[in-house]
Amino acid sequence: MNAATETTPAAVSETGRVSLFDPVRFGLIWVQNRAVMAPMTRNRAANPGHVPTPVMAEYYRQRAGAGLIVTEATQVSPQGVGYPDTPGIHSDEQVEGWRRVTDAVHHAGGKIVLQLWHVGRISHPSFQPGGALPVAPSPVAPRGQAYTPQGSQPFVTPRALETDEVVSIVEDFARGAANAKAAGFDGVEIHAANGYLPDQFLRDGTNQRTDRYGGSVENRAQFLLEVTGAAVDVWGPGRVGVRLSPSGTFNDMFDSDPHRTFGYAAEALDELGLAYLHVVAPDAADARHAPPGWRPVPIGFFRPLFRGSIVGAGGFTLQGAQAALDAGEVDAVAFGKPFIANPDLVHRFRRGAPLTVGDSATFYGGGEKGYVDYPALAG
């Protein structure tokens, strides 16, 4: 795409209806359409080093028609692992594995960012170096089961991080951001959603600290802001995104005042020059597991608080995506499961073609079946 012919989101909206197929700018990342491939764990890095494999490069290459690909969550350190066969970005071998992925996507004309991840308490000693306890802001055990190589096991009570250890994890995110740059990505996304470590610091249901990372909403947001700022220091403004799930109850999450908590976080993140804010909408599962008094936070809540591009996520259809664009709530929409079984999802949307339904039995783990064998449309 030639910079002289690229159209800003504002210019598109002034000339008529914004379409999912219009180009858009995420900070310094120009993309060909507004359909984002959402981050989805697929558990295909089945090797001792958590190294991205050649079949993963093919998987992402097939989906390069997305305006932007956000990779599966990728741990920034061995301590950040919480699921089997998930890739990392903390070793030279992992960097080289991801380089094969970015080369494949770029050769196919796509753009791709790496999602940086630390699961915090959503881990198990079987994943931790030396069988150590998982770490968290506070020793609050989540309800539910950890998915370990030995099968499902109850979550354990995590160990609360010391203040100096929090600083070292910020450094892990900075190193992950630098490694992502060396691997050829177009940017990075901080995974601050779904009950993982930045989310655990942000919400008062999981953060009971009394140091500078706990107590007030300003203190609870500090870890997220430091992690994001460290990534911006590596990449510069305009190439770092952040994903939030303000209504999410997944992984036993709760906040007493999510509008205030996430409103403050959004306004503070806005000062960092992000490429985009990626917001997960409330869904039926959140409502089912919500505590009394739960008040969902809609994506549109963030529009007055964040001046940059907003990506909406959460079970969107093509019609729902266009409606959100028409309402001005979002600048782009992320699609998850539809991209699993429809590598050419955007092309199918353009043609009004039917979508293939994915085989849920092959979503997590395995080999090529249910991963790179879904066909594209002929012609």
Residue positions annotated with a catalytic role: 196
- How many angstroms separate the CA atoms of 375 and 379, rounded? 12
Cβ burial of 378 (10 Å; 0-12, 13-18, 19+) is: exposed
Closest CA to 90 of 51, 119, 33: 51
CB 351 within 8 A of CB 369: no
Closest CA to 372 of 339, 348, 324: 339
Element containing residue 351 per DSSP (H, E): helix 345-351
DSSP labels, 125-159: TTTSGGGPPPEESSS-PPSSEEEETTEEEEPPPPE
DSSP labels, 266-314: HHHHHTT--SEEEEEPP-HHHHHTPPTT-----GGGGTTT--SEEEEES
What's the chain's length in residues?
379
